[in-house]
Structure 1
Amino acid sequence: MNESPLAESRAPVAEVDPAPEATARFGRLRERTDELELFISGLLAFALLAVPGYLFDAWARSSLHTEGMYFQVLWFGFSISVGMCYVLAVALIAHLTVRGYWIGLIGLKSHFPKGIDWERLQHMGPVSRAFLKARDGGLDGSIERADRLATLLFSTTLLAVQTLAGTLVVAVLTLCAAMAISALAGGAERVGMTVVATVLTSLFALALVPALLERAIARRQRRGQSSDRHQRWLQRFLGAMQRIPLLRLMQAMQLTLQSNLRSRSFMVAYLLAVMVAMVLGGVQVLGSLKFSLFNRYQVMTDEAVEHGMLSAHYESLRSAHDQLLPYPMIPSDTISGSRLRVFIPHRPQRDNPLARQHCTALPGARNEATGMQAANAAVECLSRLWQVQLDGTPVDLHDFMPMERRDLDMRGLVGYLPTAGLTPGRHDLSLVWNAEGGTRGGDRRREFRIPFWYAPDP
């Protein structure tokens, strides 16, 4: 007996298992992932090594003009950005190396499907051959391990960069908020630093909230007490964290890696990479300040050259390596004209705190005068911070005047000392900043000696 069309329409439809289709789809996507990894790594790896140099130049130019919280914002931006570039570049180069090894193994597999032919290794002793053969996983195992390592390197690198980017955003926003609150409080930097410390402490406390609530829930459950309220608090807190896009992006990658690897080892390596990245900016700055980070100068020491000649004191000899050395300077080590130009840079990060103590005519070390009075006030203030002598004879800084040097990207005092009374030969210009300062700290006494040779035109 034939069934009616209505019965046919009501017949149950067999459900199709979506698993094979999803597996096939991800398999096709996986084939393209290796190509995408190689493309991204090759595009960025070596290009990123050039970026820290540009970032350093931008930071060095900007940091000379700032102090306090403004300087801290620039420093956080520079140090974390440089760290991201170096970590990403080095990790991607390592990723390219592993992927190259992986490609080489695949090529060997295509030509030598059986892998190592141990019987033809007659030069190898039987004991060594047996030992290595027992531990050989074949080309398939080596290919799988290389593929896995490359993927882990790529994913962990992206996770570290995301962490650094989030740290940079939080740090800059916190410092900007602290600057705004400090400005409302009359410019008190202590208020701004208190705000920063409070925010950082709060963020650290928030990171501990889930663990503390989980412990409280477990403790109440062991005692047979209701933990519904604590569970709701924890769920609301986790829901609020999920609203932060960066945390949601990092969560899938971090938890996948952490759950499939040794959790503790992964977290140690991950946090170590982040900390190293944040230190790299400081290492680059230290390398610019010092002649060489690694040297064996046991005779020509730093103390020796400081009492000799430094290129940073002579405009004709300065280079990009002297960019972070805003030292007093003269045009050259040989002077032939009738005047010796002396330029004393003004660095807000160093001079402003001292000016607030000594320049009593400028409330808060703020020069709010106009016209020629502004120039005179600037000279009067900075002359209290410096002492200058030429061959032991004091130089009156009140004869100097303010100057802006776009070629050096600096502002400061400039004076033209007469050379008519000088004899041909060597002479010494001595400058002292904060003569009454101590021997340590940012406001310590600083001495500068600039030897030059006077060779008048015949």
Structure 2
Amino acid sequence: MSEALEPGSTPGHPPTAPDHEGRFARLRERTDELELFISGLLAFALLAVPGRIFEAWATSTVHTEGVYGYALWFGFSTSVGLCYVVAVALIAHLAIRGYWVGLIGLKVHFPDGIRWERIPLMGRVSRVFYQARVGSLDGVIANADRAASTLFSATLLFALTMVLIGAGAVLLFAVAGAIGALFGNADRVMLIIAGLFFTVLVLSNCVPLVLEKVIARRHLRGVASPGLERITHRVLAFNQWLIPMRLLLPVQLTLQSNRYARNFMVAYFVAVMVAMSIGGLQAISSAKFSLFNRYEVITTEAVDEGMVSAHYESLRADHDRLLRYPMIPTDVVEGALLRVFIPHQPQRDNELARRLCGALPGGENRLRGPAAETAAVQCVARFWAVTLDGTPVALDGFVAMERRDLEMRGLVGYLPLSALSPGRHDLRLVWNAGGPERGAMRHREFRIPFWYAPDASR
């Protein structure tokens, strides 16, 4: 029975070797087109994604605390950093490819390239200098082509790394959260599991380096190390379960072995660190009025004693999403009642509830019916002090409220204003009055001036 012929072979002749070089050459002719297509498709689309991610994070983070809040923050910073860094890198790739296309166009129309002897106002010394620095047009085209392909591959490597970091973190937090729920102390269990995982990850990457040094020294002394080599192989095999090396290493090792190895790794890790920091910068800029400003007269301290738009529901904007301050409807009140909304933030309030609310074991409200609402009001009232024009306001008449428009829960109360004279009045709220001066649990004071105008509607 005759054997099947290899593709490209003829009967009676040995099969020809596969034409790998020709096949790669044909693929290479279209690689530039594919790079341009992918970069153009993703570069500017990715710039629109961080805004959506920020909105989702800002909406979700107010409802969580502890490790769950850290998990949301990690996912937010990783995703936003990935989008921005990849988008900037792809835009740079498009610029280099555009430069490369322009050079090719010049080469087509001017096949001789740079004709140095015909350049005016350039002497012999300058010509020698520029010829050594610039080189030929063919060399510049080749360098631009290599730089674009290198940047494109490095960008894909970075994107894969960030996606794997994010997916691994989500899986780790999910498993740790499930185990923590079984033991009743989710935050502590999740922190322990996360710490153990990252310790194992660091050790599994450091152990092979140490063993390689030991094996190399023993080899120089003429001592065989089969046991250490087996251990090294097993550790490397274990790493494959943690990191998909077959997906990352072809790109990483190719770039690392053909470019400057140390510089590549430094740039690679710097890009990862920058990506992880961009989310924090965006959160800070969203919480502050202006990240860079020169306000030397109307300072932040002056505004805090005056008026901040985040206190007035009618003046709040998207820029105030992270400012979860006590609120009143508007700065000019015409009715006889003033609605005051005090937000509840689990990230801060839960810790105080565990310390101050003895009626709620562990700070958890497990009551049902009207008792649950009463207990919630009494607990939150323990770490808020409210005064109107210096007169204390009791929070007993406040009720628990869910604001879907603000994506927050809290207490709401209606203060009577009919006994007040028209004009300016000051509502002052203090959170954790006995707290420290600094830190996450520091006491916070909010001053909300408003103007009572009962005759304005007439």
Give the Cα–Cα distance (whole angstroms) in 2 for the partners of residues 38 and 293 of structure 1.
35
Alpha-carbon distance, 1:13 to partner: 4.4
The separation in 2 between residues aligned to 1:310 and 1:165, in whole angstroms, is: 39
Matched, 1:373 2:384: no
User: Aligned-pair distance for 1:252?
Assistant: 0.5
SS in 2 for 1:453: strand
Q: CA deviation at 1:244?
A: 5.7
Match of 1:210 among 203, 208, 231: 208
Aligned to 1:154: 152
Partner Cα separation in structure 2 for residue 421 and residue 141 of structure 1? 85
Judge which range, 345-354 or 123-132, deviates more. 123-132
CA offsets 1:363-387 (integer angstroms, 9 cap, x no match)? 1111111111111011000000100
Shift of 1:24: 0.9
SS of structure 2 residue aligned to 1:267: helix
Contact 1:109-1:115 at 8 Å conserved across structures: yes
Equivalence for 1:249? 247
Of the candidates 223, 227, 230, which is equivalent to residue 229 of structure 1? 227
**What does residue 284 of structure 1 align with?**
282
For residues 255-278 of structure 1, the C-alpha deviation after alignment (integer angstroms, 9 at most, x for no partner) is: 000001111111001110011000
Bigger Cα displacement from structure 2, 123-132 vs 228-237: 123-132
* Structure 2 CA distance for aligned equivalents of residues 55 and 140 of structure 1: 44
Match of 1:4 in 2: none
Give the count of matched residue pairs.
446
Opposite residue 32 of structure 1, the aligned amino acid is R
> Which residue of 2 is the match for residue 16 of structure 1?
16
What do the CA deviations read for 1:398-425 (whole angstroms, capped 9, x no partner)?
1000111111111100000001011111
2:178 aligned residue (177, 180, 191)? 180
Shift of 1:286: 0.5
Q: Distance in 2 between matches of 1:143 and 1:338?
A: 76
Task: State which drifts further: 396-405 or 218-227.
Answer: 218-227
Letter of the structure 2 residue corresponding to residue 89 of structure 1: A
Q: Hey, what does 2:450 align to over in structure 1? A: 452
In structure 2, the partner of 1:393 is 391
**1:406 is matched with which residue: 385, 404, 407?**
404
What TM-score, normalized to structure 1?
0.94
In structure 2, relative to structure 1, the CA distance for the partners of 1:237 and 1:101 (3 Å cut) is same
**TM-fit CA distance, 1:169:** 2.1
Shift of 1:187: 2.1
Gaps of 5+ in 1: 1-10
1:225, CA displacement in angstroms? 3.0
Q: 1:32 aligns with which of 22, 30, 53?
A: 30
| 1:438 and 2:429 correspond | no
After TM superposition, give the deviation of residue 16 of structure 1 in Å.
3.2
Instruction: Give the superposition deviation at 1:440.
Output: 1.1
Closer, same or farther: CA 433–413 of 1 in aligned 2, 3 Å? same
Counterpart Cα distance in 1 of 2:56 and 2:40: 26
Q: Match for 2:126: what amino acid? A: S
The Cα RMSD (Å) is: 1.6
Q: 1:15: how far off?
A: 5.8
Give the fraction of aligned pairs with identical amino acids, expressed as a percent: 61
For 1:244 and 1:65, the matched residues in 2 are separated by 32
Out of 60, 85, 88, the position equivalent to 1:87 is 85
In 2, Cα distance between equivalents of 1:378 and 1:133: 79
Assess if the C-alpha contact under 8 Å between 1:73 and 1:176 holds in 2: no
| Equivalent-residue separation in structure 2 for 1:245 and 1:409 (angstroms) | 38
Secondary structure in structure 1 of the residue aligned to 2:166: helix
Unaligned runs of at least 5 residues, structure 2: 1-10
* CA-to-aligned-CA distance 1:154-189 (integer Å, 9 cap, x gap): 011111111111221222222223323332222253
Are 1:349 and 2:347 an aligned pair?
Answer: yes
2:189 corresponds, among 191, 197, 207, to 191
Q: Aligned partner of 2:108: which letter?
A: S
Residues 207-216 or 126-135, more deviating: 126-135
**1:8 matched residue in structure 2:** none
The reply to whether residue 339 of structure 1 matches residue 340 of structure 2 is no
* Deviation (angstroms), 1:134: 4.0
Match of residue 7 from structure 1: none
Match of 2:324 among 316, 323, 326: 326
- Contact 1:41/1:95 (<8 A) preserved: yes
Change (3 A) 1:245 1:356: closer
- Contact 2:205/2:239 (8 A) holds in 1: no
User: In 2, distance between residues paired with 1:214 and 1:119?
Assistant: 56
**Which whole-Å CA distance do the structure 2 matches of 1:198 and 1:239 have between them?**
19
Instruction: Measure the CA separation in 2 of the matches of 1:16 and 1:203.
Output: 47
TM-aligned CA deviation for residue 454 of structure 1: 0.7
2: CA distance, partners of 1:242 / 1:183: 29
